[in-house]
Amino acid sequence: MEKLKVNFEVKEDDDILSQMKKEFHECAAAVKYCNEIGIPEEQIDDNITKIFDFVCDINYCRRCPGVKECKKNNPLLISKVIYKNGVVSNQLVPCKALLKQMSFEKQFKVRDFPEEWYNKTLKDLDESKERKAALKKYAILTKGGYSGWIYLNGGVGTGRSFFAAVVAIDAANRNLGPICFLNCGTRLREMGDMQYSKKGNELQDLITRYSSVPFLVLDDFGNEYKTEFIRDAIIYPILSYRASKNLFTIITSDFTIAEIKAMYAINKPGEIRARQIANLLANECGPEINLGEIKIH
């Protein structure tokens, strides 16, 4: 007589399914969602393997490690449960963290600062009186007001760029953009070179963008290559338009406004335009905020 063969795999599968059902019922968010979309209890049992993927995603994403650290089988995607015409199915959709990151990055039309700063917040700034004064102006912007521009100067390594980037990051998270964060040494030189090429339309598009963008940072201003064209056709139109429309602007520089005026005079005829630029900066920025010479960042 042949011995009865016991299928242990069936028992193991039953145990696994039972554990899946248990974890489902312990996940309040998954239970609530399935009830909201109208899946009958018997359908839940019959489709527990599909629903369990959703449960796993909920439990994993509850302790989200961040976009760059996601270790799921389907990184940055959620297995969403669909119930239509009596059929339960799955659909992979972007997770909230990814959507938030995409929305954040979309705020930046130009971003000349390291991506590693993305996770920095205003809490990462030291609480010196100079930085508090600058943040006070920005705080008014976050409440829908306007109190002029911010002009930060000081020695190399004092955290001017870092401060401007952190404020821009905070603005992006608040959807106050679009934002352009420009390194003047690179961007103004590129724009100046366009006058010698067949990129006149592209140059005008850039001037229009930088003039009208809601949030502009001119980082390392004064270290750019200086020409009459850059001064008269690029810098002055951008600054004058932004001043006329009360558009928020942060300027960081090695130099004082008085030094900017002297450098952009270039020659005797240029003194008038250089003075106009300096007056714009002084009127819009008010007192310059000097971060000193101590290396912080």
| Lowest mean per-residue pLDDT among 98-102, 161-165, 231-235 | 98-102
pLDDT given at position 64: 86
pTM of structure: 0.76
- Give the pLDDT score at 67: 82
CA distances from 43 to 31, 36, 51 (A): 13, 14, 10
Q: What is the mean pLDDT of residues 62-86?
A: 87
pLDDT of amino acid 273: 93
Q: What is the 3-state secondary structure (H, E, C) of 127-175?
A: CCHHHHHHHHHHHHHHCCCCCCCEEEECCCCCCHHHHHHHHHHHHHHCC
Q: Over the stretch 7-28, which tens digit does the pLDDT of each residue have?
A: 445 455 888 888 999 999 999 9
Q: Does 294 score more than 80 pLDDT?
A: no
Question: Is the CA virtual torsion 60, 63, 67, 71 positive or negative?
Answer: negative
If DSSP states are collapsed to H, E and C, what string results for 200-247? HHHHHHHHHHHHHCCEEEEEEECCCCCCHHHHHHHHHHHHHHHHHHCC
pLDDT of residue 103: 87
Mean pLDDT of 126-144: 90
Instruction: Assess whether pLDDT exceeds 50 at residue 1.
Output: no
**Interatomic CA distance for residues 231 and 154, integer angstroms:** 23
All structural domains of the chain, each given as residue ranges with its CATH number in brackets, are 12-98 (no CATH), 107-290 (3.40.50.300)
Q: What is the Cα–Cα distance from 212 to 231, expressed in whole angstroms?
A: 18
Binning pLDDT at 50, 70 and 90, where does residue 119 land?
Answer: confident
* Average pLDDT, rounded, for the chain: 89
Instruction: Kindly report which listed range (102-106, 138-142, 164-168) carries the lowest average pLDDT score.
Output: 102-106
Give the pLDDT of residue 4: 46
- CB of 164 within 8 A of CB of 250? yes
Q: Name which of 43-57, 63-77, 236-250 the model is least confident about.
A: 63-77
pLDDT of residue 98: 87
pLDDT in tens, 233-265: 999 999 999 999 999 999 999 999 999 999 999
Nearest to 220 by CA among 157, 278, 283: 157
